[in-house]
Amino acid sequence: MRHTITRTIIAIIWFIAAVAGLFTANYIMTVVGVIAGFMYLSSANNTRKKEKDNK
């Protein structure tokens, strides 16, 4: 459970960084932030599903 929460929080931080990149017109950082955010979010979702299946 802790891994899921941690990865979700990290994903939210990456999405906030992506929004900050939009405001500063740093489009490369925006793309990196969105990709990293989705990767962490999908990792958290996969971990949650595995934990749910093991119970």
pLDDT, residue 40, reads 95
Query: Token match 């990293």: residue?
Result: 36
What residue segments make up the domains of the chain, in order of their start?
Answer: 2-54
Q: Which residue has the tokens 């939210």?
A: 12
Q: What is the pLDDT of residue 53?
A: 85
pLDDT exceeds 90 at position 3: no
pLDDT at position 8: 93
Q: How far apart are CA 5 and CA 23, in angstroms?
A: 27
What's residue 24's pLDDT? 93
CA distance 16 to 53: 31
Q: Count other Cβ atoms within 10 Å, centred on residue 44.
A: 19
What is the pTM (predicted TM-score) of this model? Answer: 0.85
Predicted confidence (pLDDT) per residue in 13-40, tens digit: 999 999 999 999 999 999 999 999 999 9
Mean pLDDT of 36-55: 90
Q: Under 8 Å CB-to-CB from 51, ≥6 apart: which residues? A: 1, 4
